[in-house]
Every structure is written in C-alpha cells, then in structure tokens.
C-alpha cells in the first residue's frame, strides 16, 4: 500500500471567470436563436443562474482570502493533545484539537459533569456563553432549572474530531507537512470520536461522568461512551439514536455523499483555497432535510401549495415544499466543511455495538498498535484502499425481509428477541441507568431502533432501562423533535438526570 504521508494536493486552477462568462453568453445566444425555430420559448432556470452566479462570486473571493468560511460559531475553549491518537481503521492523528464549551460549575470532587454529544453537523455551541451570546442548538435545554440544570451540573459539549468547528478534521493542518489534510484524513469511527473526548475529560481531571447525553449521532456517541468506558459512566441518555446503523440511514447518507463527491468543485477533497463544492453540499443538505422531518408535518405545513399559483409551473423550486428544501440547502452549503460531512457521516454508517464487530476492531487495533510502535505503519494509508466490486449487485431471491412492513426492522430476530451478538456487545451497560427515547414520526432513526436498544439492554440484564416513545399524537416533527420539544424530550431528560 502506498503511503500518503507528505502527499500534496492536486494542482488547483481558479475558475476561469472570463471564459465562463464568454461560454455563458454564447450559450444564451444559442438558446435565443433556437427560440425562433421552436413552437415554444425556451424555459428559464433562475435556480441554476443563482448557483452559477455564486460560483462566479466565490471564484473572485478565492483569488484573495479564499472562499472557505471559518466554520466556527464564535469563542470556544480548545484542548490540544500531543499524544498520538490511533484510530480504529489504522489511521493516526499525531496530535489533535478538541473544541469544547462548558456551562455550570464543576464541584469539588468533579462528580457532577455531564458530557453532551452533538448531532452530525453541530458545533460545541449548545448554549450561549458570555463570550459567545449567540443562541446555541440546545439553548432552552441548558441553564438554571432547565433539563440540563447548570445549578446542579457541569455541562461539557465538544465538536467531534472530523468536524470543522474547531476540532481537528479534514480542513485542519497536518503537522507532518503543514498542509491541509483534505482527503488524506483517516477514516473515523464513532468510537474514535469518543476516545478523543475522554482525552479531554482526562485533562480536566474528570474520572467519572454523572451522565452522558446525546441525540441522533449523539445518541450513538452516548452509548459508545458507556460501552468503551463503563467504569467512568453514571447515567446514559440516548435520544433518536441506534445501537447499530441500519440500511435505510446508510443509504440516505451514501446518497448525500455521492451528490457531494460528484460536484466537480469537490476535486477529490482538495478544494481548499478554491471554489468549495457548494452545489453538492446544497443537494446533500436537501436530501438530509427530507429525512429530518416527517410526511405528516409537511402535509399540514405545506400541503400541495405552490409558491406563486399565478405563475406557470417551473422546473426550478415551485411548490412550497421545494422552496423550503431549496432554502435549507442554500443556507447550509457554506456553513459546514464538505469533507467533514463525508467523514462524519461515514463514521455513522460504520457504527455497530455488536460483539463480533467489537472483537474484530480490538484485534485490528492491537495489530496496528504494534506496527505503530515498530514504526512500520503507513500513516493514514488505510483511508482509500477500497476497489469497486468486479460484478455489479445482483438481485437476490425474495426473502421474508422483502415483505417487512415499513418502520419495522428488516430481520426475523425480533421473533426471538434482540440478536445475541448485540446483547453481548452491549452487556457493559447492564449496570447503568439508561434513558432511551424515540419518536414515531422519525423516518431516519425509526422508533423500532430505540426499542431495539431498550430490549437489548434488558436482555443483557439491565433492570434500570426507561424507554419513552413519542407517538404522532405528540410530535409530527420526525427526527428533529429532539431539537424542538422542550416539554416532552427535555422534561423526561431532566427528570431522569435527577
């Protein structure tokens, strides 16, 4: 395997603005000429014009300071670790940063800390601070008397490694050559993110957490924290998460990565100081937004209404739901690093708390640790080694799983309880109080996945599992309910934490 250490980014040529304008003018003339020979006029595409104008604007910016935003949400604390971090798939971070923010006061014996985990694209800014008064993504859930009560607890929230809000990720500088990692960054796992977080806890002198709390990807991180460090864990909260990624959510994240990587501006990840892949990022976010909310909510909110019924139907955003998705994608496309989206979403796909997966990972880590000690490991060389299959996928004979109703697991294990492999893998949590919450209208992490967590923990011998499922009579907000429902989500979390 060829080592990628010291690799340089491919040559990046700025967008030829003058040539681009010339081509656009030529195309425009051709279109107008065609109109004279056609029985109908050519349709206009203002949505594409807007994207092309953005590319031209970003091209101008890239000539000076570069179009990439800072990817921060204001002031945060930073933990810099100089001890190398060996990753599950063989990569190494020789040193790394973890951006974090805190609220409340750590007590004398440091026993009141709560580690709050984020979703895929969130920063450490969960709540406003004196140095950053902007509202955080869980603003109403944190504070005096709030579910995460700062009168009682010391709340710590980090930006995960692989992210772009201050923690080390693909947009960070590789200390080996002082160039951006880009796609030389190694493949990550959820467990890798947790190990980096616990390095931070070590630096703060926190030996045991009062609780670990997380939603969505944060729900995965919370469970992984308990499995990796059960002796350092008090209570666990997993909201709208899972114990292992399932095909539907993997498929949706795959689709997002594909549209992003097909953007010519992505340049195989080496787009820094050039035009970022904002087309692909916009489309990826639109796909993601479809999975974050629910059909029933959109039926009530948008129905079949068009943005302007007085106008002719258009191929650009026309229905209200289309304009909503377009706005969501446009708002996000320059607020998050494209490579971080690729790496963090892939880490979610790889998540599996099954025992066999854990055993295989431990064996791989032991071998890689030995190679690292002997100096024979090709740093980050495992990142891009996969070849496409020799034959395309072929449809398999029909099985029982093809008849599985929607919102139910595609497995017949449910007849005999949770899979034994998962029970064994989650057995380190058998003595911990655990709150598992799900939402019936969630299509990204369906409610059966939270039921699977609760049933698996009980089958592993945990007698202190609280499982809450919010029906559609309570919430139609789908996966995003954890961001919006202070009463039902926040209320349950506050009561569980004590």
In a domain? residue 326: no
Q: Which residues pair with 96 in a beta bridge?
A: 81
Q: Note the pLDDT of residue 364.
A: 96
Catalytic residue among 238, 240, 479, 485: 479
Query: Along the chain (498 residues), what's the average pLDDT of each consecutive run of 10 residues?
Result: 39 44 53 64 87 82 37 81 96 97 98 97 93 92 98 98 96 96 97 98 98 98 98 98 97 97 96 94 94 86 93 92 91 92 98 98 94 68 58 64 52 70 98 97 96 98 97 90 94 97
In a domain? residue 123: yes
C-alpha span between 354 and 350 (Å, rounded): 11
376 is catalytic: no
Q: What is the CATH number of the domain that holds 468?
A: 3.40.50.1820
Report phi then psi at 185, rounded to 5.
-65, 140
Domain count, the chain: 1
Q: Note the pLDDT of residue 391.
A: 77
432 is catalytic: no
In a domain? residue 307: no
Q: Which residues contact 491 (CB under 8 A, 6 or more apart)?
A: 147
C-alpha span between 449 and 244 (Å, rounded): 9
C-alpha span between 320 and 305 (Å, rounded): 6
429 CB-side CA count, 13 A = 35
Query: Are 426 and 417 in contact, with CB atoms under 8 Å apart?
Result: no
Q: Note the pLDDT of residue 61.
A: 54
Q: Write down the residue that tokens 């609760």 correspond to.
A: 454
Cβ neighbour number for residue 395 with a 10 Å cutoff: 5
Which of 315, 345, 274 shows the shortest CA–CA distance to 119? 345
Q: Note the pLDDT of residue 65.
A: 33
DSSP 289-318: HHHHS-HHHHHHHTTT-BS-TTSPP-SSS-
Report how far apart, in Å, the C-alpha atoms of 302 and of each of 288, 307, 315, 322, 325 are. 18, 10, 18, 10, 12
Catalytic residue among 216, 225, 238, 383: 216
Q: Which two tokens stand for residue 329?
A: 């994608």
Catalytic residue among 352, 442, 480, 485: 442
C-alpha span between 432 and 176 (Å, rounded): 42
Query: Are 223 and 198 in contact, with CB atoms under 8 Å apart?
Result: no
In total, the chain counts a number of residues equal to 498
Sheet containing strand 465-470, edge to edge, reads: 77-81, 96-103, 154-158, 113-117, 209-215, 233-239, 434-439, 465-470
In a domain? residue 301: no
In a domain? residue 354: no
Query: Are 494 and 149 in contact, with CB atoms under 8 Å apart?
Result: yes
Q: Which two tokens stand for residue 279?
A: 């087309």
Q: Note the pLDDT of residue 130.
A: 92
Report how far apart, in Å, the C-alpha atoms of 122 and of each of 67, 159, 249, 346, 460 are. 21, 7, 18, 16, 32
C-alpha span between 321 and 303 (Å, rounded): 8
Q: Note the pLDDT of residue 54.
A: 86
Q: What is the DSSP letter of 430?
A: T
442 is catalytic: yes
In a domain? residue 169: yes
Which parts of 51-110 are beta strand (E)? 77-81, 85-86, 92-93, 96-103
Cβ-count burial of 306 within 10 angstroms (0-12 exposed, 13-18 middle, 19+ buried)?
middle
Q: Note the pLDDT of residue 19.
A: 53
Q: By residue range, what is the domain housing residue 122?
A: 77-244+416-497
In a domain? residue 310: no
Q: Note the pLDDT of residue 71.
A: 41
Q: Note the pLDDT of residue 59.
A: 72
Report phi then psi at 80, rounded to 5.
-110, 120
Query: Are 164 and 192 in contact, with CB atoms under 8 Å apart?
Result: no
- Using alpha carbons only, how large is the chain's radius of gyration in Å? 24
Q: Which residues pair with 78 in a beta bridge?
A: 99
In a domain? residue 372: no
| Chain CA centroid to CA 73, Å | 17
């Amino acid at each position: 395997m060829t080592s990628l250490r010291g690799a340089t980014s491919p040559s990046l040529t700025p967008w030829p603005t003058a040539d681009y304008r010339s081509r656009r003018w030529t195309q425009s003339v051709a279109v107008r000429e065609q109109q004279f020979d056609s029985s109908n006029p050519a349709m206009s595409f203002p949505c594409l014009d807007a994207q092309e104008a953005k590319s031209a604007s970003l091209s101008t910016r890239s000539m000076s300071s570069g179009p990439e935003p800072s990817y921060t949400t204001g002031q945060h604390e930073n933990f810099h670790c100089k001890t190398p971090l060996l990753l599950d798939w063989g990569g190494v971070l020789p040193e790394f940063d973890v951006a974090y923010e805190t609220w409340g006061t750590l007590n004398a014996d440091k026993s009141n800390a709560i580690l709050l985990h984020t979703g895929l694209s969130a920063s450490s800014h969960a709540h406003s601070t004196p140095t950053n008064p902007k509202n955080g993504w869980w603003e109403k859930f944190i504070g005096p008397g709030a579910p995460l009560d700062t009168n009682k607890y010391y709340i710590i929230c980090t930006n995960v490694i692989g992210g772009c809000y201050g923690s080390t990720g693909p947009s960070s500088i590789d200390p080996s050559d002082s160039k951006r990692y880009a796609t030389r960054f190694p493949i990550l796992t959820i467990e890798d993110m947790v190990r980096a977080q616990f390095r931070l806890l070590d630096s703060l002198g926190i030996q045991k957490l009062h609780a670990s709390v997380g939603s969505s990807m944060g729900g995965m991180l919370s469970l992984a924290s308990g499995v990796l460090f059960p002796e350092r864990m008090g209570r666990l909260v997993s909201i709208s998460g899972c114990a292992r990624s399932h095909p539907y959510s993997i498929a949706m994240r795959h689709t997002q990565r594909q549209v992003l990587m097909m953007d010519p501006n992505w340049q195989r990840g080496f787009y820094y100081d050039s035009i970022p892949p904002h087309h692909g990022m916009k489309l990826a976010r639109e796909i993601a937004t479809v999975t974050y909310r629910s059909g029933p909510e959109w039926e009530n909110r948008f129905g079949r209404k068009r943005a302007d019924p007085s106008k002719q139907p258009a191929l650009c955003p026309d229905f209200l739901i289309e304009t909503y998705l377009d706005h969501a994608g446009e708002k996000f496309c320059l607020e998050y690093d494209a490579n971080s989206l690729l790496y963090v979403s892939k880490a979610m796909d790889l998540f599996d708390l099954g025992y066999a997966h854990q055993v295989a990972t431990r064996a791989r880590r032991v071998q890689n640790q030995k190679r690292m000690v002997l100096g024979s490991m090709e740093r980050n060389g495992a990142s891009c080694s996969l070849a496409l299959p020799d034959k395309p996928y072929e449809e398999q004979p029909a099985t029982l799983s093809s008849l599985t109703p929607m919102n139910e697991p595609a497995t017949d294990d449910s007849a005999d309880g949770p899979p034994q492999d998962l029970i064994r893998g989650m057995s380190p949590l058998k003595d911990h109080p655990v709150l598992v919450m799900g939402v019936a209208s969630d299509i990204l992490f369906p409610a059966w996945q939270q039921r699977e967590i609760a049933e698996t923990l009980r089958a592993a011998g945990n007698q202190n599992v609280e499982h809450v499922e919010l029906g559609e009579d309570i919430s139609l907000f789908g996966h995003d309910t954890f961001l919006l429902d202070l009463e039902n989500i926040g209320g349950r979390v506050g009561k569980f934490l004590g």
